Structure formats: C-alpha cells, structure tokens
Chains A and B, each alone.
Chain A
C-alpha cells in the first residue's frame, strides 16, 4: 500500500489538528499561484540555471557569431585544401574538415540555422499541436473525429515525400525558415496526439465538474484547469524533439529542400562528415557533441519547467 503511505506522508508535517499553525510561516502578503510559485521554484533550480545559461549562450552565438571566432567561414581563403581533415590542435580546437575549413568556425556560424530550425519548429509544433489537441480533447464529438482523422493522414505521409511536396509548393526554399515550416507541418500531429490523450484523462476529473458547477466558462476551464494539468508530457516530448528537428534538417538537405551549401548548419556538417567517420572521426564528433549539448540544455529546461509546474514535487 505505497499509495496509502504517500497519501499520509503528504499531510502537513506534524499536523494533527486542523487548526494547527503551519510549520513554516509564510509572509501574509505573498499571494501564491501556480505560475508565481513555478517562477520562484525555477530560479532556485540548478537544472534550470545550467540549461538556461547554455541556451542563452547558444542564442547569443547564433545572433553574433563574429564575437566568438576571428574569421568568417564565408570569407575568401577561409578554407584551405591543404589542411584537409587535419586533426585538432591548440590553435584549431576542432580541426579541419575535408575541404580544409576550420570546424570550430563553421560550428559557431552554423549555430544560427540549427537554432532557428530547432526553436522555430518546436515552438510552432507545440503551440499548434497543443492547442488543437486541447480543442479536440475538450470538445470531443465531431471536431475530435475530424482532427484525429487529419492527424492520421499526416502520420501516414512519409516525411521525405511530404517534405518534397510541401517544398514544391513554397515560393521560397532552401533556408532555415522553409525547413522549419516543412517540419512543423509534418510534426504537429505527434504533439496533438499526446495533448489530446492527456486532456482526455484529465477532463473527467471532479475539479473540472466543480468549475462548471461554479459557472466557469469554457476558456477558464480549458486554460486554468485542464491545460496546466495536461501540459507536462507535452513539455517533455517538445524538449526532446527539438534535437530531433535539428538533426532531421540535414536529411532534408539531401533532397535539396534543406539548408543548402554554402550555408552552414550542424545537420549539414554531421551528414557531410558521416562518410569519413572512420578516417576522420573529429569532423563528425565536434558538431555532434555541440548538438548533443544543445539538446541536453533544452531537455534540462523542459524537465525543470515540468517539475516547477507540479506542486507535488515542491
């Protein structure tokens, strides 16, 4: 009966009469709410601070890469074939790629495209998927049926085929924005499904009924009662899929619909390096490591936010 234990353990500490004074006295002025408590909690969470610093650094790098490297990879003579596949050294930390370009410089300058793709796609997918999922789960009936059938259609389209199809309809192509758009169009059903399932399992709770009995409108019920309780799994999946999107961008490049050389992205760098992995592992390892750290940073942020939104973990 571990269930019983937690139930008991959750009662206020040492409190054996309903009127006992709280163990920790709170300032009477403070008005707590889920969000203000979450912010307070986040500020003290090392996971959030580390993740936040990393993400912030990545954003700064992608906005002003010039601050972090001497040269631009696009400058004349930036690449020198004589350095092809040279190993890392004190001056060139990450070594050179097959074209003789400095990998460190390229990694720094490639951050912009990768970060744009990652953040833009994840944001779009999450907002669209979560809102539609919330709507479908809450409304049920015909709206739910229609939206669910639409997601099934999207799921059945092979990503690459769908990507080419959408690209062919776009007036612009081959940059981070078009890639984000393609992946967002193909990616939202996943979040939709998670959100819908989560809403369905939460909407029949008595507190939703209680809010209706008080006369609460649909907006208040969905955004104050259902959304905060249903969002946790979405945050986790969104944080993980951010990395997937950054990696997937490279796949689209093959089809000529991703970011095109001479533009740089981590995905492109990784896919270029794959062929010579055994001969020159550093060419692959450094961009891959940076990508991993980025993904980790976002996952840390996601975990921290999810935990902060769950008062039980406080």
Chain B
C-alpha cells in the first residue's frame, strides 16, 4: 500500500482509508415487455478515500446500472431498486429525501461519463457550464464563476484556459472535452468520483493523458474513485482493487495485483487468458465459449456455467456464494473473494 501512504502525505482534505461509500446487497431490476431483467443481483462493494475501485464487466453485467443507482440517475421506471442499501459515509442514500440526495449528488459524489460531447450542453459555453455549479450551489457572482471556471480549466491542464473559457463544447477535441467533464466533476470538490468508461471513446495517446490526470487529481484531493470499465489494460494501470461483475453479480473481488497474477474465478481467468500474448502469435487465441447471458433468462445455478470449462453439476443447480479466498495453508487472503464453487481448484489447481 505504498501508493496510498504517498497520497496521504501529499495532501488532503480526507483521511486516507475513511470509508466513503458502501453498497450493500443491491438489487435492481428492469421491467420490460418480455419480462423482468435482473440487472443487479445482490451487489456489495465499498470504496474508501484515496482508493480506486475498478468495476470490470461486459455490457449487461450490471456495472453501469449499479453506478447509476448510486448517483440516483437510474431511469425509474423501467428500473426498480428492489432491495439493498447505499451508504454514503454511513447514511443510507436510498432512504434519504430527494432534497437531501440532491445535496450529495454533484457536490459529494460526481460522475464522469463516456461520451463527453453529449454530456455537455452544446449551446452553452464551457465557461458558463463550469461556472454554473458555483452560481447555483455557492451563490457566486458571474465574474467569480468565470474566474473559478478558468481556474478549473487550468487544473485539468487545458491550454490557454483564459482564452478558451468562452468557447463552445464542439470547439474542443474529444480529449479536451473529457477534461472539461473532469473539471466539472471536480468543481464542487467531491469526496467520490464515479467514472463510467471515461476513456473508452478516446484514442490511446489521449486516453493515457486523461487517465494520468484523473489519477493525479485523485491523489491530490484524496478522493475515492470508482472506475467502471471493460478494459483490462486501464484497470491494471490505475486500480487498487477490482470487482469483476457478470450477469448482475460480483463474481470476484481482489487487490489488483492478486487478480492479475492469480485469478480465483474461471470467468476472470478466461478474460485474462483471451488477451493476445506474444508467445501465442500464430496460434488460436483462447476464447471463452458462448455468449454473455440474456438477462431475462439467466442460466440456473452459476450464471457463467454454460461458458465455463470446469463447471460441474453443482454449478448448474446452485448459485455460488461469494467465498472468502484462502491460500494453500488455509490463511485468509485480504480482500479476496470468489463466487465460484471451484475457487480452490481455480486458484491453486
């Protein structure tokens, strides 16, 4: 945990390790014409100040729905929170009044979206959009808000911020727009940032810049960061711990190094194996067979069983619990859990 200690020295408003957000047994379903889709099915995770949690999953895994539920921006209907708690600093946000939640949203928890262009208002200058928060929440004057906007743009290293504060979103490049989104998220100095695929729409060289910026700002303010992504490379670069989701459940959690070095769930293992590696050149790639499940018809037992190489009869009937993972001597491994009946064989076999 050297990185965390380092972050602590640098700054900050928050004590590192302060628990910020805890999601407890969250269930979200969507009522569609064809039936009820259980998008989130008993998800638990937590983030502390200064910590980066990566939520890894494919489309339909429930990773974005969970984030939208935390932010309170889930479309209801068709969505419905059927069970669970979302504790922000110990208080359940789902039990709060809308007014109270709104105080948290944007000010305490901010979100960065994948598509910066459609998240920004095309007919307002970026300066006005950045300053708006200060005018609404802090009662700043027009001039103060403008100064704040320039300051924020400089913080996210937009060149010539003073000249560009009056420009419109379309006049910025994709990478710059994503920076503006980050600036907006930072404007109220939130405790927690949720970034939903923040760099997926960006090019590799720009992606590197934006991820670096995000990591640096996080360290400086000691914010918690939930990074939602499908990109194993990005996760390896920035995350402290990982939650892997599949068909609305968390199938594995682990500190980042442990997960990559030695996965304890066959799905994680399969994902890591399917990355093309140098020594496999000219050979067939390892591919997880089959398709991601239809949420209306999730297979019985472990949702991954039809695609799993090691599935047994037990896997086809009984939903595996999220087991605490131990090493060969039976010693518990911190932060490691796996929702697989065969986690021992997967991890040690």
A21 interface hit (Cβ, 8 Å)? no
CB contact under 8 A between A16 and B293, given known A1-B39, A2-B78, A9-B37: yes
**What CA separation (Å) do A14 and B297 show in the bound complex?**
6
Q: Are B60 and A7 in contact (CB-based, < 8 A)? A: yes
Q: Is the CB of B59 within 8 A of A8?
A: yes
Q: Which residue of B lies closest to A313 (CB)?
A: B33
Question: Closest residue of chain A to B297, judged by CB?
Answer: A14
Please state if A14 and B68 are interface contacts (CB–CB under 8 Å). no
Would you call A5 and B307 a contact (CB within 8 A)?
no
Within 8 A of B (CB), among A5-37: 5-9, 11, 13-18
Complex contact B291–A5 (CB within 8 A): no
Chain A residues with CB below 8 A from B64, complex form: 1, 4
Residues of A within 8 A of B39 (CB): 1, 5
Q: B residues 270-300 with Cβ under 8 Å of A?
A: 289-297, 299
The total of chain B residues at the interface (CB under 8 A) is: 25
Which one, B32, B65, B79, contacts A6 given CB within 8 A?
Answer: B32
A-facing residues in B294-326 (Cβ within 8 Å): 294-297, 299, 306-307
Kindly report which residue of chain A lies nearest to residue B67, judged by CB atoms.
Answer: A1
Which residues in A have their C-beta under 8 angstroms from that of B221? none
Contacts of A7 on B, CB cut-off 8 Å? 59-60
For the complex, give the distance between the alpha carbons of A6 and B68 in Å.
17
A2 CB, nearest partner CB in chain B, Å: 6
- The residue in chain A whose Cβ has the minimal distance to the Cβ of B33 is A9
The 8 A CB mask of B232-258 against A (1 = contact, 0 = none) is 000000000000000000000000000
* Interface: B88 (CB within 8 A): no
CB pair A18 B294 closer than 8 Å: no
Q: Tell me the residues in window 36-52 of chain B with beta carbons closer than 8 Å to chain A beta carbons.
A: 37, 39
Answer whether A17 and B289 are a contact pair too, CB < 8 Å, given A4-B64, A8-B59.
yes
A6 cross-chain contacts in B, Cβ below 8 A: 32
- Which of B79, B292, B294, B297 is the one whose CB lies under 8 Å from A2? B79
CA distance A18 to B64 in the complex (A): 26
Q: How far is the CA of A250 from the CA of B236 in the complex (A)?
A: 73
Once the chains bind, are A1 and B293 in contact (CB under 8 Å)? no
B294, A14: Cβ atoms closer than 8 Å: yes
Question: Does B6 sit within 8 A of A, measured CB to CB?
Answer: no
- Interchain nearest-CB distance for B284 vs A (Å): 16
B75 contacts the other chain (CB 8 A): yes
Interchain CB contact under 8 A, B68 and A13: no
Interface size on A, residues (CB 8 A): 15
Q: Let me know if B68 and A9 touch, CB within 8 A.
A: no
Contact A16 B299 (CB under 8 A): yes
Nearest CB of A to B30, in Å: 5
Q: B327: CB under 8 A from chain A?
A: no
Query: C-beta contact mask, A95-117 vs B, less than 8 Å → 1, else 0?
Result: 00000000000000000000000
CB distance from A127 to the nearest CB of B (A): 34
The answer to whether the Cβ of B34 comes within 8 Å of any Cβ in the partner chain is yes
Determine whether the beta carbon of B60 is less than 8 Å from that of A5: yes
Chain B residue, CB-CB nearest to A9: B296
Most buried by A among B32, B79, B291, B306: B291
A2, A13, A14, A16: which contacts B307 (Cβ < 8 A)?
A16
Residues of B69-86 contacting chain A, CB below 8 A: 75, 78-79
Q: Could you tell me if A5 and B295 are in contact, using CB atoms closer than 8 angstroms?
A: yes
B291 near A16 (CB under 8 angstroms)? yes
Cα separation A13 to B37 with both chains bound (whole Å): 13
Decide if B306 touches A5 in the complex (CB within 8 Å): no
Given known A-B contacts A1-B68, A5-B37, A17 and B295 have beta carbons under 8 A apart: no
B114 to chain A, nearest CB (A): 11
Closest to B77 in A: A2
What separation, in Å, do the CA atoms of A244 and B290 have in the docked complex?
53
B295 / chain A contacts, CB cutoff of 8 Å:
5, 8-9
A11 engages B37 (CB within 8 Å): no
* Complex CA–CA separation, A16 to B299 (angstroms): 9
CA distance A2 to B75 in the complex (A): 8
Check if B65 sits within 8 Å of A1, measured CB to CB. yes
Q: Is the CB of B34 within 8 A of A17?
A: no
CB of B34 within 8 A of CB of A11, answer: no
In Å, the complex CA distance between A6 and B306 comes to 21
**Which residues of B sit under 8 angstroms from A5, Cβ to Cβ?**
30, 32, 37, 39, 60, 295
In angstroms, how far is the closest chain B Cβ from the Cβ of A251? 40
In chain A, what residue has the closest Cβ to B75? A2
Residues of A contacting B292 with CB < 8 Å? 8
Smallest CB separation, B237 vs chain A (Å): 24
Q: Which of A191-209 contact B (CB under 8 A)?
A: none
- Give bound CA distance, A13 to B306, whole Å: 14
Q: Mark A169-194, 1 if CB is under 8 A from B, else 0.
A: 00000000000000000000000000
Mask, B15-58, CB within 8 Å of A = 1, is 00000000000000010101001010000000000000000000
Roughly how many angstroms separate A86 CA and B232 CA in the complex, as a whole number?
Answer: 83
Residues of chain B with a CB closer than 8 A to A1's CB: 39, 59, 64-65, 68
**Which of A6, A8, A11, A17 has the most B CB atoms < 10 Å from its CB?**
A8
Bound together, the chains give a CA A14 to CA B306 distance in angstroms of 10
A17–B37 touching, CB < 8 Å: no
Please name the residue on chain B nearest to A6 by beta carbon: B32
The 7 residue pairs across chains A and B that have the minimum distance between CB atoms: A16-B306, A8-B60, A16-B290, A1-B64, A17-B290, A4-B59, A4-B60
13 more contacts with CB within 8 A, not counting A5-B295, A16-B291, A17-B291, are A2-B75, A4-B59, A5-B30, A7-B60, A8-B293, A8-B294, A8-B295, A13-B294, A14-B297, A16-B290, A16-B306, A17-B289, A17-B290
Q: Which residues of A contact B (CB under 8 A)?
A: 1-2, 4-9, 11, 13-18
**8 cross-chain CB contacts under 8 A:** A1-B64, A4-B65, A8-B293, A9-B32, A9-B294, A11-B294, A13-B294, A14-B294
